[in-house]
Amino acid sequence: EMMYSKEKTMFILNAPTAQKSSVTLRLYKQGQGGKAYKTLKMKKLGDERWEATVKGDLKGKFYTFDIGKGETPGIFAKAVGVNGKRGAIVDLRDTDPEGWANDVRPTLNNPCDLVIYEMHHRDFSVDISSGLKNKGKFLALTEPKAIEHLQRLGVNAVHILPSYDYASVDESKPDVPQYNWGYDPLNYNVPEGSYSTDAATPTTRIREFKQMVQALHKAGIRVILDVVYNHTFDINGSNFQKTYPDYFYRKTAEGKYSDGTGCGNETASEKPLMREFMKESVEYWVKEYHIDGFRFDLMGVHDIETMNEIRAMVDKIDPSIYIYGEGWSAGSCAYPQEKLAMKAHAKQLDGIGAFSDEMRDALRGPFSDDHKGGFLIGEPNQEESIKFGIVGAIAHPQIDMTKVNYSREAWTNEPSQMVAYVSCHDDMCLTDRLRATMPYITDDELIRLDLLAQTAVLTSQGVPFILAGEEMLRDKKGVHNSFRSPDSINRLDWNNLKRYPQVFDYYSGLIALRKAHPAFRMGKAEEVRKNLEFVDAPKGVVAFRLKNNAGGDAWQNIYVVLNSQKTPQNVKVAEGSYTKVVANGKVNAEGLGLISGSTLTVAPQSALIVHD
């Protein structure tokens, strides 16, 4: 750690196994290259900590620690030079944009009120068609065109893919196009340099990140950070290893580094210093950067207790900060399965959400086989898994769990613990998946099924989540794992907004409908059990009724019918007179026509929503 003041700077390193008088502090004038202008031996402070104090104003200088395992900025650097190799001495108050002290988090009553937009900085703005000036940068999200797009779409949270300092992009070459999702952490508590306009000036990335948060907050949009504490880019080069060797990683019974992440190593959240590190890191992002939510990558690698402690710590600051994660790992972990923060253990993780692969895969097919489809292309027996996603993975008397694809029992306490989605940055986006599973699909059919899929997501009682660009019918040219594919694969083509205006209109219309009608987001399991009733429907159709002015809705009864069949389908409902608000690929909350009687007819491959 580095504590700066004009008069002196104090450096402290927690390095319990460092040998006596062997911890070196080096000071540099540059963020990379050149020789140290000053080298000091740090003093031992108690049993585990090392200290050095340097007089004078060191602002603008750089530093590294060295216990004999190579130079490191330490595990909790708050500012770094280019490529994150050296810590930077900054006064964080210099990085606050004007008005930062008055920045406020947009209000949120229940996570089910969120509509999350998952985006990568480069995907979003790098293409010329975006019309944005700061291509691939944090600042793109401060530009009116970007903000207006998000506001018109209606999303109220952006989930930004890893935006802490990661290793795989060379920040010293801003003019060379480089791409990575960023799941290769280097410095957890510093923004990534390649997303700033000047990676070599340490304060720039910090200030620009804050400007981004500030602009989004002003627009009523929350900012959710993707955090990847489960592994580091590598072991030997990691700041953990260079500070307290082997402590932060799990090992197998044979003494090998465990690899439950599929990335070569796996951190040990259950160890006190790792747990403390994660808590302090999350707290730091909330307090210094005003972050409103966290998405834990491979949350199933972390232990339940750590996740609950993080939740409790965040609750003390603001309980509306939403925490969710991937309730799985990518391999077997060197820790007892029953203690891991897996989706199946969500009931022990109150207030923490997990992605539902049940609904995702029932709609579009399994992660393991891109060419196998689901409900959307008419695969049979997917209905029950979709129903399970509609209720937010709670226990519901009408769901037969023996017919749900992956889970034998309900796994949430409350619907806010389930993230509803059909696509994310991982594997194929929705259009690619539909093309891969339906080889002769026409554009018309593709759009119909795309809209049908998102209707399931946006009428789920869980927390809806969409991948950026789906609203412009994006594709990734069929690439499954595009983590380092070029811009030509990953970039959004904003011209699609003109090509497929009906897609954006449907997404935005449906989001507006969800936001205007609490029946779609009751927020409480008891309410959902009481007021959401599934209706008998033909094969390939899922139908439900939201009754009793659910959630305090102005509409007494709402019927939602999802038809994946290529022919019109009928569903029997209570005799009455109904106003269509979603039908045949169109949304209009004011009404798209009336239906009288007790039969709802839903057009092929589309959704119907009516109210009485």
Distance in angstroms (rounded) separating the CA atoms of residues 74 and 87: 8
Shortest distance, position 203 Cβ to Ca ion, whole Å? 16
Helices (H), 370-442: 383-390, 430-437
Distance in angstroms (rounded) separating the CA atoms of residues 576 and 578: 6
- Tokens (6 digits) for 502: 């009906």
Closer by beta carbon to Ca ion, 192 or else 292: 192
Closer by beta carbon to Ca ion, 165 or else 414: 165
CA atoms within 13 A on the CB side of 308: 14
Closer by beta carbon to Ca ion, 103 or else 198: 198
Greatest C-alpha distance within the chain: 86
Question: 208, 297, 384, 414: which one is catalytic?
Answer: 297
Shortest distance, position 452 Cβ to Ca ion, whole Å? 40
- Tokens (6 digits) for 126: 């790098």
- Residues in the chain, how many? 612
Q: CB under 5 A: which stretch of 12-20, 160-168, 172-180, 568-576 binds Ca ion? A: 160-168
Instruction: Kindly write out the interface string for residues 114-153 of this chain, putting x where it contacts Ca ion by CB under 5 A and - elsewhere.
Output: ----------------------------------------
Closer by beta carbon to Ca ion, 174 or else 260: 174
**358 by DSSP, 3-state: which?**
helix
Residue 543 CA to its chain's centroid (Å)? 29
**For the purposes of burial, counting CB atoms within 10 Å of the CB of 442, is it exposed (0-12), middle (13-18) or buried (19 or more)?**
exposed
- Amino acid identity of residue 467, one-letter, is L
Do 353 and 224 touch, CB atoms closer than 8 A? no
Q: Which residues pair with 577 in a beta bridge?
A: 596
Closer by beta carbon to Ca ion, 192 or else 470: 192
Distance in angstroms (rounded) separating the CA atoms of residues 354 and 343: 6
- Tokens (6 digits) for 524: 């409480």
Residue nearest to Ca ion (CB): 165
**For the purposes of burial, counting CB atoms within 10 Å of the CB of 51, is it exposed (0-12), middle (13-18) or buried (19 or more)?**
middle
Shortest distance, position 13 Cβ to Ca ion, whole Å? 22
Helix then strand count (H, E) for the chain reads 13, 25
Distance in angstroms (rounded) separating the CA atoms of residues 325 and 294: 8
Shortest distance, position 184 Cβ to Ca ion, whole Å? 9
For Ca ion, the binding residue among 123, 165, 357, 384 (CB under 5 A) is 165
Closer by beta carbon to Ca ion, 192 or else 357: 192
- Amino acid identity of residue 302, one-letter, is H
**11 by DSSP, 3-state: which?**
strand
184 binds Ca ion per the rule CB under 5 A: no
User: Is residue 171 flagged as an active site residue?
Assistant: no
Q: CB under 5 A: which stretch of 98-106, 163-171, 410-418, 425-433 binds Ca ion? A: 163-171
- Amino acid identity of residue 51, one-letter, is E
Shortest distance, position 80 Cβ to Ca ion, whole Å? 8
Shortest distance, position 608 Cβ to Ca ion, whole Å? 48
Closer by beta carbon to Ca ion, 165 or else 450: 165
Shortest distance, position 161 Cβ to Ca ion, whole Å? 13
According to DSSP, residue 173 is labeled -
- Tokens (6 digits) for 441: 């699909």
What separation in angstroms does the CA of 349 have from each of 25, 78, 411?
41, 30, 10
Closer by beta carbon to Ca ion, 193 or else 202: 193
Q: CB under 5 A: which stretch of 102-110, 188-196, 287-295, 331-339 binds Ca ion? A: 188-196
- Residues 305-324 contacting Ca ion, CB under 5 A: none
Closer by beta carbon to Ca ion, 236 or else 442: 236
Shortest distance, position 228 Cβ to Ca ion, whole Å? 13
Task: Using CB under 5 A, count the residues that bind Ca ion.
Answer: 3
Q: CB under 5 A: which stretch of 145-153, 186-194, 232-240, 415-423 binds Ca ion? A: 186-194
User: Is residue 526 flagged as an active site residue?
Assistant: no
Closer by beta carbon to Ca ion, 74 or else 193: 193
Shortest distance, position 467 Cβ to Ca ion, whole Å? 23
What percent of the residues of the chain are helix, what percent strand, and what percent coil, each to the nearest 5? 30, 20, 45
Shortest distance, position 77 Cβ to Ca ion, whole Å? 12
b/e code 264-297 from CB counts within 10 Å (16+ = b)? ebbbbbbbebbbebbbebbeebbebbbbbbbbbb
Torsion of CA 248, 250, 256, 258, to 10 degrees: -120
- Residues 190-209 contacting Ca ion, CB under 5 A: 192-193
Question: 184, 326, 357, 432: which one is catalytic?
Answer: 326
**For the purposes of burial, counting CB atoms within 10 Å of the CB of 489, is it exposed (0-12), middle (13-18) or buried (19 or more)?**
middle
Q: Token match 């009485």: residue?
A: 612
**208 by DSSP, 3-state: which?**
helix
Binding site for Ca ion (CB under 5 A): 165, 192-193
Catalytic center residues: 297, 326
